[in-house]
Amino acid sequence: MDRREFLKTIGTAAAAATFGFSGLERVYSASIPAIAAAAQAPDLVAVRNGEPAALVDAAITAMGGMSRFVRRGQTVTIKPNIGWAVSPDLGANTNPVVVKRLIEHCLDAGAKKVFVFDNSCDSWRLCYSNSGIETAARNAGAEVVPAYSESQYQAVSLRSGTTLRTIKVHELVLSSDVLINVPVLKNHGGAGMTAALKNYMGMVWDRNEFHRKGLDACIAEASLARKADLTIIDMYRVMKSGGPRGNPSSKRELMKMLVASVDPVAADAAAARALGFEPSAFGYIDRAEKLGLGISNLDKLDVRRIVL
């Protein structure tokens, strides 16, 4: 932290303490270019016909640059899908190159620390290594954190939750300055589709509770614990059947696409269309919209489409 930032922080804290104006801090400390970028940026960016790294670069640029989301000295948590102990070419986990490129963007924007974790379905060590994400993220300069111990999870009460009153989420979700959700788009046996909102199940401790209480309601409400600041859906290689783990006969399509948005509901709506469904086909998208987490009607949004 340099002197200017230090003074700014002191000033903000003093102002907040004096006036009790809780929103002041965020407004005051945001840099002018970031505000300008946010004002101009589209609601959703979709990029296609490129390799993973190029897709990320184009999407981040169109979103107004990573500095719009990550400011100097902040901590960032990137939450990919590292659910399965399978190799990257099967599309069961987020593409490691996407994760790597995102980490590099965060560090370029001045992030103090970038964490990567997922509460995997298969044994976490095998998932972390077989997915290629552990190596890619470490090489890019991130800290790869395990998520297998209940002691890492903190209970959060969800005020507008009706099915989930409290939920235990990974401490990094709560403590990081910036949360970036980076799912991979897949067919899903239980929920129909897994993309942005469904990826939250890897941030919570008790997934089984979601199944017992009803997947649609729980998936929609989980985002209430903390809405991701940025959602990036990897649609480079899309598993269209037999998901989320995939089996030898799973259909996979090389879609070479990527969607970025600050609105997880809009991102999931785009993902649904990519799988060949209307967003209303998946109950949790509708529920999340009613909870005020986003807008699923893409016609109402400013969507920027980029073909590389």
- The Cα–Cα gap between 225 and 9 comes to 26
Least distance from C-beta 104 to other proteins, angstroms? Answer: 23
- The Cα–Cα gap between 276 and 10 comes to 51
- If one asks whether residue 85 binds other proteins (CB under 8 A), the answer comes out as yes
Among 197, 215, 260, 285, binds other proteins (CB under 8 A): 215
Token reading at 202: 């890897």
In the window 193-212, what residues touch other proteins (CB under 8 A)? Answer: 208-209, 211-212
- If one asks whether residue 170 binds other proteins (CB under 8 A), the answer comes out as no
Q: What type of residue sits at position 7?
A: L
In the window 88-117, what residues touch other proteins (CB under 8 A)? Answer: 89-91
- 3-state helix, strand, coil split of the chain in percent (to 5) is 45, 20, 35
| 212 vs 290, beta carbon nearer other proteins | 212
- If one asks whether residue 42 binds other proteins (CB under 8 A), the answer comes out as no
The span of 18-26, 62-70, 93-101, 252-260 binding other proteins (CB under 8 A) equals 252-260
Residues paired with residue 231 on neighbouring β-strands, in sequence order? 181, 261
Among 71, 101, 105, 252, binds other proteins (CB under 8 A): 252
Report the residue count for the chain. 308
User: What is the size of the binding site for other proteins (CB under 8 A)?
Assistant: 57
Beta strand pairing call for 75-80 and 166-170: unpaired
- Angle, CA 265 vertex, CA 142 and CA 136 arms, to 5°: 20
Nearest one of 140, 98, 78 to 256, comparing CA atoms: 98
Q: What type of residue sits at position 105?
A: H
The span of 4-12, 46-54, 60-68, 131-139 binding other proteins (CB under 8 A) equals 46-54
Where do contacts with other proteins occur on this chain (CB under 8 A)? Answer: 46, 48-49, 85-86, 89-91, 121-123, 125-126, 130, 145-146, 148-149, 151-152, 188-191, 208-209, 211-216, 237, 240, 242-245, 247-254, 257, 269-270, 273-274, 276, 283, 298, 303, 305, 307
